[in-house]
Amino acid sequence: NIISYDLASRTIVITRNNPEPMYIVRNGEIETLNEASISVGVRKNTRPSITELEIEENLLIVMFSDGVVHAGTRKGQYLDLPEILKDSYYAGLSPQWIADKVMDMALELDENRPVDDISIAVFGVMPTTGDEVRRLTVGFPAK
């Protein structure tokens, strides 16, 4: 999956390349992007699902791998991501906090032994505070 932020057109382009849904949160409402989409590279002539949005403040886009979707399935549980996202949005929580919370909850459901790889990205268009420097935070284990 790819999220592109185009300053020239003032749009965000979301490219889905797998069957897992993505969520868009704006004004407390959650939109699910779940049109049919299969992983690129599995079949010939596979095309991604493309969504283009106007850039607006307080917009969150949440994408994740199937490890999040399958978290807890060994015990018949699952993450209610829309509910988590709605609560987080109204609480004014940062994209980093949301990503950490979803990861923590997925790991807890899997008893720290994930059924599948877990990746989470939360893209947020937040109100400007202080300088106008664009920042990106990425973390990888060194092991």
β-partners of residue 124 are 60
Phi, psi of 100 (to 5 degrees): -65, -40
Which residues, including other chains, have CB under 8 Å from residue 130's CB and lie 6 or more apart? Answer: none
pTM recorded for the entire structure: 0.80
Contacts with 73 (C-beta within 8 Å, 6 or more apart), sequence order: 115
Q: What is the pLDDT of residue 11?
A: 93
Q: How many CB atoms lie within 10 A of CB 107?
A: 15
Chain segment 56-115, per-residue pLDDT in tens: 888 889 998 888 888 988 889 988 888 888 877 777 778 888 899 999 999 998 889 888
> CA–CA separation, 129 vs 113, rounded Å?
38
Annotate 43-58 with DSSP letters as a single string: STT---EEEEEE--TT
Cα–Cα distance measured from residue 115 to residue 138, given in angstroms and rounded to the nearest whole number: 23
90: left (phi over 0), alpha (psi -120 to 50) or beta: alpha
CA 107 to chain centre: 16
The chain-wide mean pLDDT, for the chain, equals: 83
Mean pLDDT of 21-37: 84
Tens digit of pLDDT for each residue in 120-129? 999 888 776 7
